[in-house]
Structure 1
Amino acid sequence: MKNTVILFFMGGILFGLAGFALAVDERPVQVVRVTPIKEQARAEIQELDQMTRRFEHFAVQKVKDLNRLHHLSRSRMQITQQADGAYHGLYHQIDESSLTVNVRRSSSRTVPFVGVLSYRENIFEATAETQKQLKECDFNLVQVVPNRHLFSYSKGHWQ
């Protein structure tokens, strides 16, 4: 009798495990591709490099436009006549060789990248006896103003 109970008990356990195994096998199998960390990091670095190149192109064009449109550019310099009759000229010019850019990822979903554009704006002055001489003379650098602008990458372009 004791053997029968043990056999019956063991049979129940085996039958239960077999049913569990069948239930597990009946579920559809989902295959999930996990990107290795190195591959994912490489893709992120390549994307950041691409955004940096795009931002560099954007920044160079932006500085050219700022130089061209500045209200005190060399072609629109501020000229004042001094008490002694001489003319004093002043103009601003962005030093394109001082241009630096930095692009970083953002935690925002709508703005995935942020770019920082830095440059130096030079202020030049000169004095001459006539306005014509003033426009043709050499100007002296009198001040350097550091500038920094923040831009965001949104909807496929820098703004």
Structure 2
Amino acid sequence: MKLVRKILTSFFICLLLCSAAYGSQPGSKQELDTFNNFAIGWVVKLNKSHIKGFSRMEITLQKDGSYLARYHAISPDSISCRVKKTSAKRKGLVGLLKYIETIYESTGKTPQEARANKFTPVKNIRITEIFSNSGKGWR
């Protein structure tokens, strides 16, 4: 249930942040809307399927006998979207999706306790993804 809430929160925050970029970006509103929808779906998919995401968190035994639980998630408040027209003669667009992937950790005396305790962010990784659209959708 918490994971579903996180995914929905990510979705709505991404929608708000990406739509806030409309005023300063070249391209039509329709192009921005299309990329915005694609970006939201992409981020939700990333959070859901990350190899080290919440549903597949790593739990390791530490030297002191405690357990460390760790997972990665995209911080929804860090997402920004941008669309540019290409300089090519053919019709084309480039979409930039920037976000911060955060690593969260928790410890406990047992694996179950480590998974249930409060997670704290320990590292942020800045990521920029570049997508193109030559009339066949975002890739």
Q: Per the shorter chain, which TM-score range?
A: 0.7 to 0.9
- Within-5 A mapping of 1:70-109: 70-109=50-89
Q: Which runs of 5+ in 1 are unaligned?
A: 1-44
> Are the structure 2 counterparts of residues 61 and 145 from structure 1 closer, same or farther at C-alpha, using a change threshold of 3 Å?
same
> Counterpart of 2:38?
58
Q: Which runs of 5+ in 2 are unaligned?
A: 1-24
Alignment equivalent of 1:130, drawn from 88, 103, 110? 110
* 63-72 or 78-87: bigger deviation: 78-87
Matched-pair contact (CA < 8 Å) for 2:86–2:93 = yes
> Are the structure 2 counterparts of residues 87 and 150 from structure 1 closer, same or farther at C-alpha, using a change threshold of 3 Å?
same
Q: Tell whether 2:89 aligns with 1:114.
A: no
Question: Comparing both structures, which one devotes a greater share of its residues to helix?
Answer: 1
Using the aligned pairs only, state the percent identity: 33
Please give the secondary structure, in 2, of the residue aligned with 1:126.
Answer: strand
> Counterpart of 1:16?
none
Matched-pair contact (CA < 8 Å) for 2:81–2:95 = yes
Larger Rg: 1
Matched-pair contact (CA < 8 Å) for 2:107–2:114 = yes
Aligned length: 115
Q: In 1, distance between residues paired with 2:105 and 2:90?
A: 45
> Counterpart of 1:8?
none
Residue 86 of structure 1 deviates from its aligned partner by 0.8
CA RMSD of aligned residues (A): 1.8
Ranked by relative contact order (alpha carbons within 8 Å, sequence separation 6 or more), the top structure is 2
Q: Aligned AA for 1:68?
A: K
Matched-pair contact (CA < 8 Å) for 1:111–1:152 = no
